[in-house]
Amino acid sequence: MARSNAASTLAAGEVPEGPAMAALTEKQRRYVLALFDAPRKHGSGVFAVKAAGYGPTSSRHTLSQLAYQLNNDPKIQLAITEVSQNYLCALGPYAVRAVKRILDDPKHREHGRIIGIVMDRVSPVQSTAVVKVQGEVKISAADAAYTMQRIEELCSKFAVALPRPKIIDHEAAP
């Protein structure tokens, strides 16, 4: 019962209008809000079309086609998303009170599950994985010589001059 009270309070005009709702005509706004007041799932589009004031003398079939067209309008889809977010925010306190009532009743059949859900939200489980990758790259003198030869071929083909490598004096360790 608390859910429908919150929904009807929002639909009565307390839904803050965002940019998506502001971009609609008055009838389209009434249509979007009426979708949230529809008494049942099936036929909600026809209900909303009638409530918005479209086609007062039209047949049910025509109204359902109009509802289909309205539902597929990108502007109306954005407005539905916007109003849905407002409804969910407004229903938050009701949901928190319901969870609290279940937590206060240890004999409730969902008591343990709700404890798990709350704990997952309050202190999420974190896992850490360490991946150690080891490998050794060995280049033979023949591979290095072939690579240098290929680089010189490509440089001459494309007329690119490579700077001469710097020679470092050093003594090899035994």
Radius of gyration of the chain (CA): 34
pLDDT in tens, 25-42: 999 999 999 998 888 778
pLDDT in tens, 98-138: 999 999 999 999 999 999 998 988 888 888 999 999 998 88
Alpha carbon distance 96, 78 (integer Å):
27
Reading the block at residue 31, the tokens are 């249509």
pLDDT in tens, 49-83: 999 999 888 898 999 999 999 999 999 999 999 99
- Rounded to the nearest 10°, the torsion over CA 123, 124, 125, 130 is -120
E strands, the chain, are: none
